[in-house]
């Protein structure tokens, strides 16, 4: 049976919430972890407390994502897994017509998941058993909530599970 010990994991959205908790839990399980986010202060706080390494980048910036993922893999000596956790919900319903909000949600919730997975693929494929874990949101499928772009969060995650992950095994939704 595989254990988490010594596995090298990149966690996006590692600077707060579920991502920060995941960073801490993985460190407690013996993983080497890189935590990705924009806020250098919050990343430093999480990393100093857990022993993870910071990977500061804006997930909407494709070249910056490539640089951050490559640097994290070099620092960890490879990547066994990526946790695509970063996401945001701007509560902008289609009726509100705030297209900049929708663009930001699709960019971070969907495209960034593909960017990070793509950037990590050479390392995941070189790993013994590379894993991609995509954190989604069942709320995206509830039309009554009008979470138009969030629905794509879940849909995009599924597409990536099927098309990009080297060995997709399971999908988790909160």
Given 3-state DSSP classes, what are the helix, strand and coil percentages for the chain, each rounded to the nearest 5? 55, 15, 30
Q: Which of 7, 8, 11, 15 binds ligand NAP (CB under 6 A)?
A: 15
Tokens of 51: 């022993």
Residue 87 near ligand NAP by CB under 6 A:
yes
> Helix or strand or coil: residue 31?
coil
Stretch of 24-32, 85-93, 123-131, 164-172 contacting ligand NAP, by CB under 6 A: 85-93
**Nearest Cα to 82, choosing from 27, 48, 36?**
36
Q: Which of 4, 42, 168, 171 binds ligand NAP (CB under 6 A)?
A: 42
Tell me if 57 sits within 8 A of 38, measured CB to CB. yes
Give the x-and-dash track for 115-154 against ligand NAP (CB under 6 A): --------------------x-x-----------------
Stretch of 32-40, 73-81, 124-132, 154-162 contacting ligand NAP, by CB under 6 A: 32-40
Shortest gap between Cβ of 10 and ligand NAP (angstroms)? 12
Residue 54 near ligand NAP by CB under 6 A:
no
Residue 18 near ligand NAP by CB under 6 A:
yes
Residue 60 near ligand NAP by CB under 6 A:
yes
Strands laid side by side in the 131-136 sheet: 53-56, 32-37, 8-12, 81-84, 131-136, 172-173
User: Residue 102 and residue 79: Cα distance in Å, rounded?
Assistant: 31
Residue 59 near ligand NAP by CB under 6 A:
yes
H helix runs in 51-88, sequence order = 62-76
Residue 72 near ligand NAP by CB under 6 A:
no
User: What's CA 143's distance to the chain center, in Å?
Assistant: 25
Vertex 118 angle, CA 64 and 38, to 5°: 30
Interacting residues toward ligand NAP by CB under 6 A: 13, 15-19, 37-39, 42, 58-60, 85-88, 108, 135, 137, 174
């Amino acid at each position: 049976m595989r254990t988490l010990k010594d596995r090298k994991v990149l966690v996006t959205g590692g600077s707060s919430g579920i991502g920060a908790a995941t960073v801490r839990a993985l460190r407690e399980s013996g993983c080497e972890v890189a935590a990705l986010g924009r806020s250098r202060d919050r990343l430093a706080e999480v990393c100093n407390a857990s022993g993870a390494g910071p990977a500061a980048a804006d997930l909407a910036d494709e070249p910056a994502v490539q640089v951050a993922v490559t640097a994290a893999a070099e620092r960890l000596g490879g990547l066994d897994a990526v946790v695509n956790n970063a996401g945001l919900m701007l509560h902008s319903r289609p009726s509100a017509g705030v297209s900049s909000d929708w663009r930001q949600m699709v960019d971070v919730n969907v495209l960034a998941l593909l960017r990070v997975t793509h950037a990590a693929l050479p390392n995941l494929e070189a790993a013994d058993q590379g894993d991609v874990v995509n954190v989604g949101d069942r709320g995206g499928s509830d039309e009554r909530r009008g979470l138009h772009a969030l629905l794509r969060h879940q849909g995009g995650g599924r597409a990536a599970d099927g098309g990009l992950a080297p060995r997709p095994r399971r999908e988790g939704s909160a």
